[in-house]
Every structure is written in structure tokens, then in C-alpha cells.
Amino acid sequence: MVYIYFTGIDLGSTMTKVVIIDRDERICASVIKHTGAEHRRLANRAMEEALEQAGLSFDEVSYVIATGYGRIVVPFADRQITELTCHARGVFSSFPNVRLAIDIGGQDAKGLKINNGRLLDFTMSDKCAAGTGRYLDLLAEALGLKIDDLGSISLKSTNKVTISSTCTVFAQQEVVSRLSEGIPLEDIVAGIHDAIASRVARMVERLNLGCEVLVPEEPLLSGAIGAALLGKEITLKALAQGETIQRGERRLDKATFFE
């Protein structure tokens, strides 16, 4: 078998991402889909879409690594690796000098201390939704907005307000109250973003790093890219050592854990 293509699938709580890279680490396909209640079982559809985009059959993919919240239920993965490790490797591929990465996921936020693409230490938010994508989702809903519109609205702000509630339910009440007071929508949205940024900044303080903030070209793909790169490394290392490539059953079926 010729080992050319490697896949990473990041099955998150809110978004599912698939990346296929070749041996030269060029991205051949990338897919981003909302996970959703039903689609938690349908990671195979995202994989099929990526294969079609790359013009490949599943048999041509040398190694598949699953990561993220739902990694253990991806039946066609050859191996599962935590999102902490995959995000560290993925961000390193974009920024080789990276020392700290911040991952704001749907259910939690994480700070990763990195050296040469390897995870050294990490910190995580508590179980409260504050400082996560879910927090943004719910507050956008309370304002009658789509989450994709929040960024452009926030940039128009000239006087952001303070959103003090860390509880999502109380924060929803707070933003509605601010609207009734006649505060411009853009200042409320900017306040929401500022509240999240402040909480995340406090979370990563213990890692003792002060860095310039950089954003990958497509942040959502960092974990999947890292998984694909780790798959390549595992494969080529085994080949170099004359070892057998350990692969899973390679069943391109839907996950069943969430039935």
C-alpha cells in the first residue's frame, strides 16, 4: 500500500470538522458541519463529503484519527487522540513559534501551553457555559441574531457595555434588559465578546505566558488538521521502524453511541 493521504476528524459538541491531507501536508479537502443532535451519529456523512471533495475512495486514505468530544464513537477511525494534543499540533502547523493556544469550544474553553507542537500543560474552564461557544449561541438567540453575525455587529461598537452575569440564564436576562434601556445592539454584543475574552484571559493566567494574539486562517479546523498530521507521523514512524500499521475496522458507518 502507498501511504499518501491522512485524515483527521474532530467531532465536537457543536461542530464536526474533517480534513484530508497528503504526504506533503497539503490540505486536499476540508468539511465543517454543525454537529447537532442528529448529526452526532453522522460523522460518516462529513467523511464521505470530504472524500468526494478530494476525489478519493475511503481505501485510499492511509490513516484516520478521531478527536474531540465524540471521538470514541467514530467507527471508522484507526485511533482516537484527545483534542488537547491535536489542537496543539494543529496550531503549531500554522504558527511554529506558538507557546499558548486558546480553544473556545461549544461546551468548554481550554488554554494549552505548547513547545515545538507538543502539549506541556493546560487549563480548562469550569462546567459553566460562560466563556464558551454555547454562551454565544444562547445570547445571540436572546437578541434574535445568528451567531455568525455577532462579529460584524460587535465591530461597530463605540461604547461597549459590561455584561456581569456569568450564568447564561442571567446573562440572557441582562442583555434583554440592556436592549429595553435603549442601549445600541452593537454595544451589547461587544460587551458579550468582552465578557468572554476576560474570562478566558483569567483562565490562562496560571500558564504565565504573555503573547501576541494570532488567529489561524480557519480556526475551526485546527484540531482536525492536528489529528491528520499526527496520523501521518504515526504511519511514517511505523514504516521507518518496519512495524505493521495498526488500523481499525475501517467501517464507514454512522456512530451509535447517541442512539
Quote the pLDDT of residue 85. Answer: 95
Cα R_g (the chain), whole angstroms: 20
Judged by average pLDDT, the poorest of 33-37, 113-117, 130-134, 213-217 is 130-134
Residue 247 scores a pLDDT above 90: no
Alpha carbon distance 127, 130 (integer Å): 9
Q: How confident is the model at residue 224 (pLDDT cuts 50, 70, 90)?
A: very high
Residue 127 scores a pLDDT above 60: no
- CATH number of 133-205: 3.40.50.2300, 3.30.565.10, 3.30.420.40, 3.30.70.1020? 3.30.420.40
Residue 195 scores a pLDDT above 90: no
> pLDDT (tens digit, 9 = 90+) per residue, 142-180?
888 888 899 999 999 999 998 887 777 788 888 888 988
Break the chain into its structural domains and give their ranges.
Answer: 5-95+216-240, 133-205
Judged by average pLDDT, the poorest of 44-53, 124-133, 176-185, 192-201 is 124-133
CATH C-level class of 5-95+216-240: alpha beta
Q: Are 180 and 216 contacting, i.e. CB atoms less than 8 angstroms apart?
A: no
Residue 184 scores a pLDDT above 90: yes
Task: Name the strand (E) or helix (H) holding 112.
Answer: strand 109-115
Segment 169-197 shows an average pLDDT of 89
The answer for residues whose C-beta is within 8 angstroms of residue 142's C-beta and 6 or more apart is 172, 175, 176
Judged by average pLDDT, the poorest of 7-11, 73-77, 157-161, 242-246 is 242-246
> pLDDT (tens digit, 9 = 90+) per residue, 64-118?
999 998 888 888 999 999 999 999 999 999 999 998 998 888 778 888 999 999 9
Amino acid identity at 52: E
Model confidence, pTM: 0.84
CA 111 to each of CA 70, 94, 219, 245, 252: distance values in angstroms, whole numbers, following the listed order = 20, 17, 14, 33, 33
Same CATH fold assignment for domains 5-95+216-240 and 133-205:
yes
Residue 259 scores a pLDDT above 50: no
Quote the pLDDT of residue 258. Answer: 46
pLDDT > 70: percent of the chain: 92
The residue whose grid cell reads 456569568 is: 166
